[in-house]
């Protein structure tokens, strides 16, 4: 299973979803899910991929987040406690093998090109490096077609 965390504004969500599509193209459709638990409806207009582009994908459960991630949103019960426990665990044992965390949004992980199909991964970051998507650029461009803007404010 591959889970990609979605958060931030529309631009960040687009980069994160583009990684999702890239992983899906490279490794197949089986058990690809999104984690929307970090979406804050009061910031950045909430989850915008569905509203703007009509994107609907399978979502992970809170237990899948707890099992594969090292970060937990406050939207998940005891999220702050889990995040603290994982921070202590990281200091002692290092990162979970399932966790792929990108601290610098432009950083590129060649790891994404050679993932073990028999393992589970949780991706958290922005993924704003073109190398993640260069092989599926046309598919991504076909997904991210903005609707005609009829609102004068926009």
**Cα(6)–Cα(66) distance, integer angstroms:** 16
**Taking 70 as the threshold, does the pLDDT of residue 75 lie above it?**
no
Q: What is the per-residue pLDDT across 31-55, written as a single tens digit (0 to 9) for each?
A: 899 999 889 877 888 899 999 999 9
Contact 65, 72 (CB under 8 A): yes
Q: Which residues on neighbouring strands pair with residue 5, listed in sequence order?
A: 35
If we measure between CA atoms, which residue out of 74, 77, 118, 72 comes closest to residue 98? 118
* Three-class HEC string of 21-79: HHHHHHHCCCCEEEECCCCCCCCCCCCCHHHHHCCCCCECCHHHHHHHCCCCCCCCCCH
Tell me how many helices (H) and strands (E) the chain has.
Answer: 5, 4
Percent of the chain with pLDDT over 90: 50
Structure-block tokens of residue 56:
């609907």
**Cα(9)–Cα(44) distance, integer angstroms:** 5
pLDDT category at 74 given cuts 50, 70, 90 is low
Q: Specify the pLDDT at position 78.
A: 66
Q: pTM here?
A: 0.87
pLDDT category at 154 given cuts 50, 70, 90 is low
Percent of the chain with pLDDT over 70: 95
């Amino acid at each position: 299973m591959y889970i990609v965390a979605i958060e931030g504004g529309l631009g960040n969500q687009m980069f994160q979803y583009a990684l999702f599509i890239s992983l899906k193209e490279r490794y197949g459709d089986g058990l690809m899910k999104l984690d929307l638990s970090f979406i804050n409806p009061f910031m950045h207009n909430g989850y915008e991929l569905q509203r703007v582009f009509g994107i609907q994908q399978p979502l992970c459960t809170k237990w899948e987040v707890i099992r594969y991630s090292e970060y937990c949103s406050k939207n998940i019960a005891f999220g702050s406690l889990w995040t603290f426990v994982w921070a202590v665990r990281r200091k002692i044992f290092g990162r979970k093998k399932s966790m792929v965390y990108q601290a610098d949004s432009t950083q590129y992980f060649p790891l994404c090109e050679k993932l073990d199909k028999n393992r589970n991964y949780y991706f958290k970051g922005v993924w704003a490096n073109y190398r993640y998507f260069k092989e599926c650029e046309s598919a991504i461009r076909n997904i991210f077609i903005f609707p005609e803007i009829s609102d004068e404010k926009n």
